[in-house]
Amino acid sequence: MVNIIEKIGKALQEQAIPAAQKLQTIVSDVAAMLGEKVEEIVREINKPSQLVTRAKKSTDRAENHMYSSVSTALGDETVAEVRRRLSGHTAAFNSVELLFVTDADHRLQGVVPLSKLLAATPKMAINELMNSNITSVTLADHPEQVAEVALTHQIPAVPVVDDQGCLLGAVPAHTVFKLMREDHILDMERMVGIWRNSDQALSAIEGDPLRRVVDRLPWLIVGTVGCVLATGLMATFESTLRTDLAVAFFIPGIVYLADAIGTQSEAIAVRGLSFSSTPIQQLLKGELKTGLYLGITLALLVFPFIWLAFNASLAFAVSVALICASSIATSIGLLLPSILSRLGKDPAYGSGPVATIIQDLLSLLIYLSVVSLLVF
């Protein structure tokens, strides 16, 4: 197996260098043909008035979802005193999941879960029950940060404080879940090109036709360039395709499966990156393993059918290519949203033409290189 992997790597290197040189020439020709028109379109798209934004995502703040009426107590109060004060008045509070403990200046000191308060002995001081290891948010924090704090620390309500650490209120659990659901829906809509609460959504269907062309053409140009690159890549392996036409039969399947696996990773990454604090290296390692296992499973499914219909060497080549392409597709699906997130862009932009083109080109390169090595 090690020898096969080494041979595949050597073949990829030998085939990739001339392919890259040829593709570089093609890209230069395409860029020359597009010329000033592309630059003009890019300038139009980069105008602030034309940027596709999600007002809810960029301007929403924690204060818009905060309840100011929350149950509080001082650290030196006893359990009995707090119970007596809260008894019969819970309806006055918007959030009773947690008892927020403050000092005399109303600075947040910690929290006490309601269940813990009810189970404690009456004479026990509140600061003996208090969990001081608590993370708070500010008024200006984004709702996604509120949800991340709630999930990370497993708390039913997230305290909101000012710059001095004084308690202002809390965002309760049901609001956190609502925010997570809304944000998930918005990101999924964004991935398929639906923009709500945006003038761009209306102008995309009702605006001037030329304006709509300017809005849509850049991504189509990206896709067109990708098609040209794919054509040039296949031309590099013309001798392989001429030798056995059956090799071409499996190109659509390899490309589709790799793209489908990558799309799954993109969808998971778009939401996961908003809440996960795990280092990207560890996430990438997990996605590589996931892609490897998916590739092996799919390869085991298709191998016997290709063997029976054609021959063992072609079946083995398709299986190996599928394993490699699947592993790379999951990595691309994770890395693109991650890179965009680090650049301060919405990770939902990681899906679409760019990811698809990269996955398709790499899938073609891997498949044709593996076939050239193992079949011919």
Among residues 95, 363, 86, 20, the alpha carbon closest in space to that of 371 is found at 363
Handedness of CA 77, 78, 80, 86 (dihedral sign): positive
Query: Residue 150: phi, psi to the nearest 5?
Result: -60, -40
**Per the domain annotation, does 189 fall within a domain?**
no
**70, 35: one domain:** no
**231, 349: one domain:** yes
Stated length of the chain: 376
Handedness of CA 66, 70, 73, 74 (dihedral sign): positive
CA distances from 49 to 135, 200, 205, 218 (A): 38, 9, 17, 17
**Per the domain annotation, does 190 fall within a domain?**
no
**348, 288: one domain:** yes
Whichever domain contains 322, its CATH number is 1.10.357.20
The most confident of the ranges 8-12, 237-241, 274-278, 348-352 is 237-241
Give the separation between CA 346 and CA 56, rounded to whole angstroms: 13
**Per the domain annotation, does 170 fall within a domain?**
yes
pLDDT bucket at 94, cuts 50 / 70 / 90: low
**Per the domain annotation, does 191 fall within a domain?**
no
- Summarised one tens digit per residue, pLDDT across range 107-134 is 998 888 888 888 888 888 888 888 888 8
Which of 182, 214, 233 is the last residue before a domain boundary? Answer: 182
Give the separation between CA 333 and CA 347, rounded to whole angstroms: 11
pLDDT bucket at 144, cuts 50 / 70 / 90: confident
**168, 225: one domain:** no
Among residues 42, 109, 122, the alpha carbon closest in space to that of 80 is found at 122
Q: Residue 58: pLDDT above 50?
A: no
Domain that holds residue 137: 62-182
**175, 297: one domain:** no
**Per the domain annotation, does 155 fall within a domain?**
yes
Which of 157, 182, 207 is the last residue before a domain boundary? Answer: 182
Query: Residue 370: phi, psi to the nearest 5?
Result: -65, -40
Which of 182, 208, 238 is the last residue before a domain boundary? Answer: 182
Give the separation between CA 283 and CA 335, rounded to whole angstroms: 10
Predicted pLDDT at 186: 66
**Per the domain annotation, does 193 fall within a domain?**
no
**125, 159: one domain:** yes
**222, 174: one domain:** no
Give the separation between CA 115 and CA 163, rounded to whole angstroms: 30
Structure tokens at 121: 């002995």
How crowded is residue 55: how many other Cβ atoms within 10 Å of its Cβ?
A: 11
Number of domains in the chain: 2
Quick check: 129 and 98 in contact, CB under 8 A? no
**234, 287: one domain:** yes
Relative to beta strand 95-102, strand 108-113 is antiparallel
- Summarised one tens digit per residue, pLDDT across range 161-215 is 988 889 888 888 777 777 777 776 666 655 555 555 455 555 556 667 777 677 6
- Summarised one tens digit per residue, pLDDT across range 9-37 is 555 455 545 544 554 554 455 445 444 44
**163, 210: one domain:** no
Quick check: 139 and 160 in contact, CB under 8 A? yes
* 300: helix, strand or coil: helix
**362, 288: one domain:** yes
Q: Which position has the token pair 């999941």? A: 97
pTM of the model as a whole: 0.50
**283, 207: one domain:** yes
Stronger pLDDT, 273 or 342, i.e. the higher one: 342
**Per the domain annotation, does 188 fall within a domain?**
no
**326, 214: one domain:** yes
Give the separation between CA 167 and CA 171, rounded to whole angstroms: 12
Quick check: 97 and 114 in contact, CB under 8 A? yes
Percent above pLDDT 90 for the chain: 9
Predicted pLDDT at 273: 60
Whichever domain contains 81, its CATH number is 3.10.580.10
- Average pLDDT of the chain is 74
Q: Which amino acid is at 157?
A: A
pLDDT bucket at 222, cuts 50 / 70 / 90: confident
**Per the domain annotation, does 290 fall within a domain?**
yes
